[in-house]
Structures are given as structure tokens and as C-alpha cells.
Structure 1
């Protein structure tokens, strides 16, 4: 897929394989806010061996991300609200390595999403989802379907959209819904 297939204002979960060939449920997680027709903000954390470090940057090459499995749209954010969403996403940056915090990319994304599914003081829901464990399962199931029998270097990269976040259709086709398995527990 190309930038033309991404919705401007779309907030996407980035899934990257940990190895080739990809294994089920083994992904690096990140976020991507597609801000204009040539790129957007990529948000992720990396393990430095001594803890996590945030790496957030504007990129026009999201499809060149190493080991990219695909992008999964979970929200549509209007341009005036991008700074608010950026602040929320960065809100854990200074406490990534505090005792009691989960220390991997998936839990960082899920902790950020836990904030983004809460209504703002004006009642706006940045991510219109009321059940984070179900959303996590939907993302993971989609990633597993996209990685089955696929070489991680294969092009084009898939783009999906959540069926539970109340998103309007965009240029991607909806995946068939598959039964959900067990859901995970509590977010740190």
C-alpha cells in the first residue's frame, strides 16, 4: 500500500515482526499519526538493554520501517487535535523505566491507548473504543492474519481498520471478523 491508502488524520497501530519468518503474537508495537499527504509522526519505544527509550519522529517513509507487518487504523484525529494526541502519546516518556511499569512496546502502546479511550473534558473520545482488551485482541488477530504465509519483505504492506472503534470506511476493505480468544488482563 502507499500513502494514498492512508487516511490523513488516521491513528494507526504499527506492527513489526520480531523475526523472519514471523511468529504468531510476536510483534513490536508502535503508533503512527498520518498528518499529511507525505507523512506523519511515528511513535515507538526501543529497548536499549538498560531500559526503554522513546523514539518519536516525523517520517515520510513509514512503509520502509524494518520488519513492518502492517498498519492498523484505530481512530481518525482532526488536524487541530493532533497536538493534544501528541501530548498524550508522549505522556509516558519520562516514566518508561520506573519500577512497576511494563517494559515492552506492546504495553507502552496499550498504556497510551488506555488514556486515549478516555473521554476528554469536552466529551471527545480520541479512540472510540470502550474495551481495550478486545481492541488489543482485534489488533493481534489482524497482525496474525497478515503474517500467515507472508514474507516480511513482501510488498505491498497491509493496512487494516478496526471494526470495533466506530470508524467510517476508508479505502481499505474490512477484514472478516473472526471469533476472539481470551483477553489479557490489567494495564499497568
Structure 2
């Protein structure tokens, strides 16, 4: 299956999707105690229309942030380009791939694929379909909820090992 990638940590690839990563600490950024309250209904930071304009621009996803037991959000809005690696994206499938240190959830346009986008384990790579039938100009919001762990005795800090927007073209007849 032919495949093309956009490295969402590379300035040129980010430019091709008009993307800027933003970062904010907390399960609910800006709330006391990182927004950790009993029986929280959910963080608004996962929603595509959430205003993250006041968040810090994050030019290095791999930078260690927020040591100890903590949560953090990374968000990007992307506009799909006409081509990736010289191929028209029509007929491809668009996939987001990442590995969040240590645990992560992937929210695409406000939805979390409960089989693939929810916490998979300690430093486990994750892969979710962004768009099964992408078209140039389509816009998508990708929100990553990161958590440092292990929860009982966390080490290190929150960061994203990699973030890729992949396009896979289906070969007719297979």
C-alpha cells in the first residue's frame, strides 16, 4: 500500500497543513488543581471549538514538561493539503500516529476512538483514522491528552515522542 507522511514536528510539514501546536497543563487547563475534581464530566479541551488561542505555542513536542503526576493537552488544527509527497490525497486514508509519554488519549474533531485513541498502556504507540475519505482543504482538530506516569510513582515528565499525519492509498483490486 503506497504511503506518504507529514511529520507534525517538522516546520515545513506543519506549514503544509497550516498547523501550529499549542500546549497547556492540566486536565482542564487554567482551572485550580489542574481541573481535577470528583466525577468530572469531561474536559472541554477535547472539543474542536475550544478556544486554545491563549495557550503556549509548542515548537518542540519532545520537550519535557510538567513533572510529577500531571496532565497536559497538546492541540493542533490542520487543513489537509492537495498533495503529500507528490501524490493527490484523494483516494487515500488519513491517519494520525503518535506516542505520548507516558499515557495518552487522542481526540479527533472532539471524538475519541475508544478502541485505539484511549490509553493503550505505558508509552504505547497509537494510530487512529482522521478521515477515511480526505479531501484537500478538509479541516480537523487533533487534541492529545497526555499524562505522566506511572501514576503511583511518576518519573520524567509529559512529552510527545512523535506525531505524524499519514496518508495511505488503497490499491484498487486488493
Give the TM-score of the pair, scaled to structure 1: 0.25
Larger helix percent:
1
Larger strand percent:
2
Q: Which has the higher contact order (CA 8 A, sep 6+)?
A: 2
Instruction: Say which one has the larger Rg.
Output: 2
